[in-house]
A and B are shown apart, each in its own frame.
Chain A
Amino acid sequence: MSIAETPATVETPNKPKPAVESPLRRFAAEFLESRVAAGALLMLGLIISLAALAPWITPQNPYDLAQVDVLDSRLPPGTKSSSGAYTHWLGTDGAGRDLVSAMIYGLRISLLVGAASGLIAMVIGTVVGMTAAYAGGRTETLIMRVVDLQLSFPAILLALMLIAVLGKGIDKIIIALVTVQWAYYARTVRGTALVEARKEYVEAARCLGLSSARILFKHIGPNCMAPLIVVATVQTAHAIALEATLSFLGVGLPQTEPSLGLLISNGFEYMLSHKYWISFFPGLVLLITIVIINLVGDQLRDVLNPRLKK
């Protein structure tokens, strides 16, 4: 081994980097480093567009009685409908609806409920959590007691309790899911905000004589976003699973707004007579959706957490 060789092995040729790198682009590049996460993101995009475009891409509108024939009920996957107009690739359900169409419509409702409840819970949780962190003292103790109390109670029971009180319906389900979820956001935001509130820029803002509300929402708020996004992804997946569970139990959405959970529930009775597809395929779609959102959330956590950075 000669002395002249050593520096050459140490100095591995670096890839050429762009001179200026926007944070967003760096974030995107880091996120896409994992192939699994990139695939999951792609799938998530696909699922969301499927749900959004449901009325235009489904073979039939499963809730338009003129397009559904009861004679076609419980057809196995791949059969043609009696009128010959459709091929039911995944079969039909107990009312003769094309399962592919029903699932895409169901996905639409499931995603809508999950996203809406996640968003509302995030707003409420953020405001409450930041208030707790900024106010301190008795207010903080009281708020965090309520949060701890709620988190020690299983989400499903709390949701059931609220449903028992509020009744059925899409708006009531969203209220129940928001009530179940806000505490997670509040706890996360409070933790982050407490760390942020001690930093110099907050002190500087205070010295400038800015109002508390302005410091809270304009200065501390944006810096709490990273962990919040991670919690939001995971919580949305939870919300979708919880809504499906409630609907499956028959205490969630009404039959007029069939989410994936309700489709699974409707097919359950046929499962024992070997007509597996009515429950199985909606269940598979639900599962894929939940796993994909969780995968995206995992990667977000890895990318957004500065402690895990090399």
Chain B
Amino acid sequence: MTAFILRRLMQSVGVVLVMSLIVFFGVHVVGDPVYLLINPQADQKDIEAAIRALGLDRPIWEQYWHFMKGAASGDLGRSFIFGEPALKVITQRMPATIELALAAIAMAVVIGIPLGLYAGLKPDARLSKGIMAASIVGFSLPTFWVGLMLIMVFAVILGWLPSTGRGTTASFLGVSSSLFTRDGLAHIALPALNLALLKISLVIRLTRAGTREAIHQDYIKFARAKGLPDRRVIGVHLLKNILIPVVTVLGLEFGNLVAFSVVTETIFSWPGMGKLLIQAIQSLDRPVIVAYLILIVLMFVIINLVVDILYSILDPRVRLGEGSA
């Protein structure tokens, strides 16, 4: 067991190192940021001073060494645009992104599970077929197009909800979030729905499949035979069992949500990490790109590592198979 975890951990560290190398060297091949960041009217001396201040005059391997030394102590370079540490620029915007992702997951659960349950319990009803067809459409629609349509319908035509920015935030139990104010909730509704759409479809399908399978199991028949009311059989006995795969998948999808927030945040001008990444790519703000990508790689590697370890605890075949290969 320990050997398995250690081996996985070593592999993960290897992946992070290789990725940092690829990302860093790759990004430094792009156009010269010197000309993007320094006033073209500046004289040669000022340009040289700026190059030295940004560390762009050193050989690339020295820049990487410097970067790795900094990375080990949590310093991923300074943003060219903001003049602040890249990590700080990103972490400042992280709460907004996480708030959006959490709101999207909440929506997926609140909307997806009841619809999936209904479709699973009454598979032949017309409404169920409608729900399933809608979930297929939800899978194939491009996120940004859905975002545009949401803005067009709810913000422009109906004028019900604001379409840009994050609302006012309020502090509750030491957590500052826009989820605690009316204005904030109005602002988060559209972007969260946009981000949630794919997950809603996913939850509907998972819940429906789980329900269809569980409904014929003995424990449901037994609960019915005991004379329990339908509400209790479905709400407690059935739901408890189908929630396990739903929770697992949603946990795994959290990383995906953060990744897809790149699109949603750009459309709704949500001041999060994703919008920052797009701005950084457009302005060639290399330290921010590199720091963002490394953070995301780290996040994915950790999620995968935790899942691998959990699976190996739950299913011994995983780690035994690994040992013999």
By a beta-carbon cutoff of 8 Å, the part of chain A in contact with chain B is 141, 149, 152-154, 156-157, 160-161, 163-167, 237, 241, 244-245, 248-251, 261, 264, 268, 271-272, 274, 276, 279-280, 283, 286-287, 290-291, 294
Q: Identify which of B144, B148, B156, B296 contacts A157 (C-beta below 8 A).
A: B296
- By a beta-carbon cutoff of 8 Å, the part of chain B in contact with chain A is 15, 23, 26-27, 29-31, 137, 140-145, 148-149, 151-152, 155-156, 163, 255-256, 259-260, 262-263, 266-267, 277-278, 280-282, 289, 293, 296-297, 300, 304, 325
Give the interface centre of A152, A164, A248 by most chain B CB atoms within 10 Å: A164
Known: A149-B15, A153-B300, A272-B163. Contact between A286 and B145, CB under 8 A? Answer: yes
| A164 and B31 alpha carbons, distance in the complex (Å) | 10
Indicate whether A241 sits within 8 Å of B142 (C-beta atoms), given known contacts A156-B260, A157-B259, A250-B282.
yes
- Using known A-B contacts A161-B293, A251-B282, A290-B140, determine if residue A167 contacts B145 with beta carbons closer than 8 Å: no
Contact, CB under 8 Å: A276 / B29: no
CB-based A-B contact count at 8 angstroms: 97
For the residues of B in contact with A, the DSSP-based class is: helix
Known: A154-B260, A160-B277, A245-B144. A165 touches B29 (CB 8 A): yes
Residue contact B304 to A160, C-beta cutoff 8 Å: no
Q: Contact between A271 and B300 (Cβ–Cβ < 8 Å)? A: no
Chain A residues near B23: list those with CB within 8 A: 161, 165
Give the residue of A164, A241, A276, A286 whose beta carbon is less than 8 angstroms from that of B281.
Answer: A164
Bound complex: CA A241 to CA B282 (Å)? 21
Complex partner residue of A287 from B31, B141, B262, B325, CB under 8 angstroms: B141
Complex contacts, B277 vs chain A, CB 8 Å? 160
B257 nearest CB neighbor, chain A only:
A154
Cα(A248)–Cα(B256), bound, Å = 19
Verify A264–B148 contact, CB threshold 8 A.
Answer: yes
Q: B262 is contacted by which of A153, A237, A249, A291 (Cβ under 8 Å)?
A: A249
Contacts A165-B26, A268-B148, A272-B156 given: A286-B300 contact, CB under 8 Å?
no
Do A283 and B263 have beta carbons less than 8 Å apart?
Answer: no
A-B contact pairs, 15 of them (CB 8 A): A160-B281, A164-B30, A165-B23, A165-B27, A165-B29, A237-B140, A245-B144, A248-B266, A249-B262, A264-B148, A271-B151, A274-B156, A276-B152, A286-B142, A287-B145
- CA gap between A294 and B289 in the complex, in Å: 34
- With known contacts A160-B281, A251-B281, A283-B145, A154–B156 Cβ distance under 8 A: no
Contact A157 B152 (CB under 8 A): no
13 additional contacts, CB 8 Å, given A163-B281, A272-B151, A290-B142? A141-B325, A156-B259, A160-B277, A161-B293, A164-B30, A164-B280, A165-B30, A244-B144, A248-B263, A271-B148, A280-B152, A290-B140, A294-B140
Do B148 and A279 have beta carbons less than 8 Å apart?
A: yes
In the complex, what's the smallest C-beta–C-beta distance from A150 to chain B, in angstroms?
11
User: Beyond A160-B281, A249-B278, is A154–B140 a contact (Cβ under 8 Å)?
Assistant: no
- The answer to whether A271 and B282 touch across the interface, beta carbons within 8 angstroms, is no
A161 to B286 CA separation, bound complex (whole angstroms): 12
B268 to chain A, nearest CB (A): 11
Q: How far is the CB of A91 from chain B (nearest CB, A)?
A: 15
Contact A157 B142 (CB under 8 A): no
Complex interface: chain B residues within 8 A of A250 (CB): 278, 282
If A154-B259, A164-B289, A249-B266 touch, whether A271 touches B142 (CB-CB below 8 Å) is: no
Tell me the complex Cα distance, A248–B262, Å. 11
Residues of A within 8 A of B281 (CB): 160, 163-164, 251
Task: List the B side residues contacting A271 at CB < 8 Å.
Answer: 148, 151-152, 156
Bound form: Cα–Cα A272–B155 in Å: 8
Given A149-B15, A152-B304, A250-B282, A283 and B27 touching (CB < 8 A)?
no
Closest chain A residue to B293, Cβ basis: A161
Judging by beta carbons under 8 Å apart, are A245 and B151 in contact? no
Q: How far, in angstroms, from A184 to B29 measured CA to CA in the complex? A: 28
CB of A173, distance to nearest CB on chain B (Å)? 13
Taken together as a complex, chains A and B put the C-alpha atoms of A152 and B303 apart, in Å, by: 10
Bound: A241/B198 CA distance, A: 14
Smallest CB separation, A159 vs chain B (Å): 10
